[in-house]
Structures are given as C-alpha cells and as structure tokens.
Chains A and B, each alone.
Chain A
Amino acid sequence: MNEIMDMFQAVVRTPMIIVAAFVGTAWGIVGGAMPGISPSIAMALLLPFTYGADPAAAVVLLASTYLGAEYGGSIPAILIRTPGTNSAAATVLDGYAMKEQGKAGDALGISLYSTLVGAVFGVLMLLTLTQPLAQVALAFQPQSYVGLGVLGLSVIASCSEGSLVKGLMAGVIGLMIATVGTDPVTGVNRFTFDHPDLLSGIPPILVMVGVYAITNLLEQASTPAWVQTNSNEARLKMPGPLMRARLRLSQVIGCIIGFIEGLTPGGGGAISAFISYNEARRWSKNPEEFGKGSPEGVAAPEASNGAVSATSLIPMLGLGIPGSNSAAVLLGGFLIHGMTPGPLLFTKHADIMSGFYAGKVISLVALLVLGYLILRPCIWLVNRPKHYLMSFILALVLSGVYAIQGSLFHVGIAIGFGVLGYAFKILAMPVLPMILGVVLGFMVESNYRRALVLSDGDHMTFVEEPICAALLLLAAVFLIYSIVRHYRDVAKAKQIGLAA
C-alpha cells in the first residue's frame, strides 16, 4: 500500500512522468515498427534528449520506449512478413499467415492484447522482486562490489552469440575503454593523450549511441528500402471473450518463459519468443494450426516479449548488471543522471524509483491507448521514403550527441564508436560484452584497489568477505555453466550439420 502511495505522490510531484510514458511508448511503437530499428536502438536515439530532463521522467521515457518497441516490432511482422525487431521474428510465423487469411486486424489485436498481458505480469514481477534483491545488497563492502562486478562480467560468456573467445575479447576491449581517464586511486591520467575532454573518461552514453544508433545507420546505408505497408489492412480488432479464453494458456506460457528468460542474462528477446512459441504449440489443443495462422502462435511470443520488457530490468535495477542491450541502454539513462543502478539505488534515489515504477504502470495504459490510436500514423511514418527517414535520424543523432555536453569532440567519439560497432559486425564480434566491460570496468577496478588498500594488499580479503566470496562463487558457477552450454550448443549444431 505504501508503495502505491509513493508512486502516486511521485506522479503528483513530477507530472512529466505521464508525458514521458506516453511519448516513450509512442516512439517505441514507431521505432519498433521500422525494420532494423531494435528496441535498444530506439532507446539509444532518445538518450541525448534525456540529458536535460527530470531524472524520473528520463528513465520512464526510455523504459516506455522499450515496451512500445516490443509491440511495434509485431506490426511489420504481421503486415509485411518482416519483423521490426528480433523478438518479433516468432510472430511472423502465424501473424503473417493470419494476414494472408484476411485477419490482419485480428492478429494485430491479439499481438497488442498479449503484449499487454505479458507486460502487466512483468511489471508485477518487477515491483515484487527488485527491491528485496537490492535490500540484500545493502550490506555491500568494497570487496562485495568487486564480486558483483565479476558476476556481471561473467555474463559475457552467455552474451557471446556464437564465439565465446570473441565475446571475451569484446569484454576485455570494454574494460580497456573503461580505463581511459583519471585513475580512481592515484589521480594519474591514463590513455588521455593530453586531451582535456578525456580526463573524465569516455561516458558510456557515447559508446552506446555509437555502437547502437550510428552503427545501425551505417548498416542501413547499404540495405534496400523496406516493403511498404497497405494502411487499409491495419484496422486493429481486440479479441472477444471467446478468443481471450482460447489465448489464456499460450499467454501464461509466454509470461512464465518471458519471466525466466528476462532474468537470465542474454536470454531475452528472440530466444524467449521462440521458446514460448514452441511450448505453446506443444501444450495447444490445436497444434496443427501453428504456422498456418494460429492466434495462439501470435499470443505466446508477444506475451513473452511483453514480460521480458519488464523482467529483464530486474537484475539491472537490483544489481546493476544489464543482461540485454535494452537494459544496458536504460542503465546508460540512469548513469546520465548520476544514478548507479544496484544496491544503493533504492535508498539514495527512492523518490525517483517510485516515479520510475509509476511510469512503468502508466506505460501499460499508454500502450493500450496508443496501440489503438497511432497504428495508422505509425504506418504512414514508416511508409515515408527510407532515405528521408535515415537522413533525419542521422541529423537527430548528431544533434543529440552534441547536446549532451556541448562538445564536438564527443560527437567525434560517438562516430568513432559507430565505426567500431560496424567493425564488430563485420568481424562477427558481439557488442553487448563490450558494453558490459565499459559499464562495469570502473566499478570493478576502483573497488578492487580500494579493498586492497584497506586490507594492506591482502588478496584473501575477497574470499574472507562472505558476500564477495558468494558472488565470486556464483560467477564461477555461471561461467562454467555458460561455457558448458556454449560447447554443448556447438556440438549439437555440428551434429545437425552432419545429419543434413
């Protein structure tokens, strides 16, 4: 009850939260509907705008964009067989088949309704689990933060998308980037090359805007224009009582899998959607309809996507460990306003967090309202010539990055990271491990050295401090599990290849 009162007070104190929830959701739907613009890219494009905004409104804007983009991705998936986001790929299977049968409006309605069901469940889990998790972490010492940082870095193994070695390399490169600037203990300049703009290090926001937004623009420069959508097909129809009853089981499956995968670093998005689709087919009374226009085939992945949009924020908010690209960008939004997600977030910035939770709840209403209202304008916008859209987005990014600190040098850095992100794509290197390295590198190094100073250089301090020891053990277990799973997947892929 107290939490609800706090949320209400936060909205009264900062009414901009309501505006941010609606604007973020609207932008998310539009961004997600553009093929190639993932939720994290849609969020990264907004990052510079949040710089001067109220902190609560800023993080609500980003989180609402995430939710909106999860639904927006299903619009082109259903209408033109092109998923707007990776996680909407599973929706193509039955969504487009329904459209072929003249049921595009029904498919869009099921998608909106199911995303909403998943998101409501996800937000409830977020409200229930995040704060207790953070309270456990209130007893943290410098050593514990080292353990937490190492646990966060162990996530790299599960975010490596194909090559574990390349994922680790990307992670180390991220750690290297985090060493640029003034040394946290001695105050000596490192890798600044006498440039004053580098003294305070490279802000993670520049890395994120570079590797997500600018890299995507560089990629889009060589991809053909996407297929146009006929807006007459887009008359959204919400499911009636009978259909809602039919969808219930597949939505429950989507919610549960979305919850588990959202908590697992590197597990959300497309993986979660496809597992939900598969399980919904397995448990369905009409499994033969899947792939041929089954409403449950749309409901399960969309419910999962909605749940992931909230549950993937739990480890990020509670422990400061972003397990997905979108969570990493949201973390960037918190960092811009001097808030470090993790144990102290809920005590140091309790009012802002109440506002954040209130914004998450308001964004559910925003999704329902805007899902109806802006479908046609959204399709109109996505149907604009691609060269105009992309050139405007380029101008927006360049203006936005300058706005962060009024520095053209920073614009240059962001462009440089855009090039690095593009090189990563060409070399098939994953980007998320690098982001993890950039975000966690400073925390790990400063606390590691502080703990050593306090213990007179005794490394046993990390094993003797119980929380740190437990976190390091957890990191080791997680790392071993990820490595075993990686090599098991590689072996399985080889077997399938041989069989084919």
Chain B
Amino acid sequence: MNRDLVTALIGITLAVGYHIVASNIASGLLADEVGPDGLPRIYAWMLGGLSTLLGVRALLQQRTQPTGDEGEEGRAAWRALGLLLIACAYVAAVPVLGYTLTIAVIIAVAALYQGGRLSWSLALTSVLGAAALWYVFVYLLHIAQPEGMLPDLIERLRA
C-alpha cells in the first residue's frame, strides 16, 4: 500500500481515538469558555482533516508514485524491533536484577545483536562499560539507579 495512504489511515485512527478520549474529559467547576476539552477537540479535527487530505491525494496519485524498496525497509524494521525489545527488556529486568548487572547484560546483548561475537573482549567491554556508567551516574553525579531485588534476595538467603 502507498506510504501516504498508510500515514493517512493512521492519522485518521489517531484523530478519532483522541477525539473520543477528549469528549470524555470532565469540565470541572472552574471551566472557562473554551474548556479543558476545547483545544483537544480542535486538534483532533485538524489531524482528521489533514489526514483525509493526505489520503485523498495519495489515492489520486497512487498510480504515478514510485514505490520504495519495501523488502529492505521491512528487514530494517525487524532489526530495529530486536533492539527495541532489548531496550524494553532493560525496563523489565532492572527492578529485579539491579542497575549494574542489567546494564552490563544489556551492553553485551545489544553488541551481540548488532554483529558482535562471544569473546573475552565482549565480556570485558560490557563489564567495563557498566562500571564506567555506574561510576559516572552513581558515584560522580550522585544519581541513584535502581538497586533491584537481587542483593536483598541474596542477603535473605544468607540469613
């Protein structure tokens, strides 16, 4: 399908969804003339209108527009999805494993995913990378990072 048409469909869906949520915003006792839902509704109509315009134009130009290399783009998107999952795994794992361990694992896994090989240099890079980040954030800048449940769990097991 034409890229602009896809954009238009996504835009219309977003506009409709946003308008539905905006319509359910409570007015409140201090409501002014415009109200808390006033501008959001206008934005929804604007996005809907622009998306429709884009969609109509895409339909009219569908035959004349050249299509991109969809296979290549699809492969790139799958590669990106893999990295995205690694980033999401960090969010899920860090409250359990704690910052230093999780970030070391993330560096190693992301490097492996992007073409690195299992080696001593990979292990060293991930350990040194995690140590460097811990040093900068926690030690130097005094910014606490998640400690995780693992240290607590080990402590309990010891007790």
Contacts from A to B (Cβ < 8 Å): 49, 51-52, 163, 165-166, 168-169, 172-173, 175-176, 179, 183, 185-188, 190-191, 214, 217-222, 225, 385-388, 390-392, 394-396, 398-400, 402-403, 406, 408, 411-412, 415, 418-419, 422, 426-429, 445, 448-449, 452-453, 457
Contacts and interface: CB of A to CB of B under 8 A. Distances in A.
A195 to B, nearest CB: 13
A166 B7 contact: yes
A387 B122 CA distance: 10
Contacts of B54: 163, 165-166, 169
A169 B28 CA distance: 30
14 contacts: A169-B11, A172-B43, A185-B32, A188-B26, A188-B27, A218-B80, A218-B83, A221-B83, A387-B115, A391-B129, A394-B83, A399-B145, A428-B7, A457-B33
* Residues of B contacting A: mostly: helix
B110 A391 contact: yes
A29 B149 CA distance: 40
Interface of B: 3-4, 6-7, 10-11, 14, 18, 21-22, 25-40, 43-44, 46-47, 50-51, 53-54, 57, 73, 75-77, 79-80, 82-84, 86-88, 90-91, 94-95, 99, 103, 106-116, 125-126, 129-130, 133, 137, 141-146
A453 B35 CA distance: 11
B34 A415 contact: no
Contact of A173 (B14, B27, B83, B129): B14
Contact of B43 (A176, A185, A412): A176
B146 A402 contact: yes
A222 B76 contact: yes
A415 B36 contact: no
A179 B33 contact: no
A187 B83 contact: no
Given A190-B37, A412-B88, A418-B87, 11 more contacts: A163-B4, A165-B54, A172-B46, A172-B50, A222-B77, A387-B115, A391-B108, A394-B86, A399-B145, A427-B7, A452-B34
Instruction: Give the interface SS of chain A, mostly helix, strand, loop or mixed.
Output: helix
A222 B91 contact: no
Nearest to A173: B47
B111 A387 contact: yes
Those 6 A-B pairs whose CB atoms lie nearest each other, nearest first = A391-B110, A222-B76, A222-B79, A387-B114, A183-B36, A218-B80
Contacts of B106: 391, 394-395, 398
A480 B142 CA distance: 51
Contact of B3 (A51, A391, A428): A428
B50 A448 contact: no
Contacts of A169: 7, 11, 47, 50-51, 54
Contact of A52 (B28, B51, B116, B141): B141
A218 B4 CA distance: 22
A452 B32 contact: yes
A207 to B, nearest CB: 16
A445 B39 contact: yes
B86 A419 contact: no
Nearest to A186: B28
Nearest to B95: A408
A398 B80 contact: no
A415 B85 CA distance: 10
Contacts of A176: 18, 40, 43-44, 47
B143 to A, nearest CB: 4
A183 B84 contact: no
A428 B68 CA distance: 11
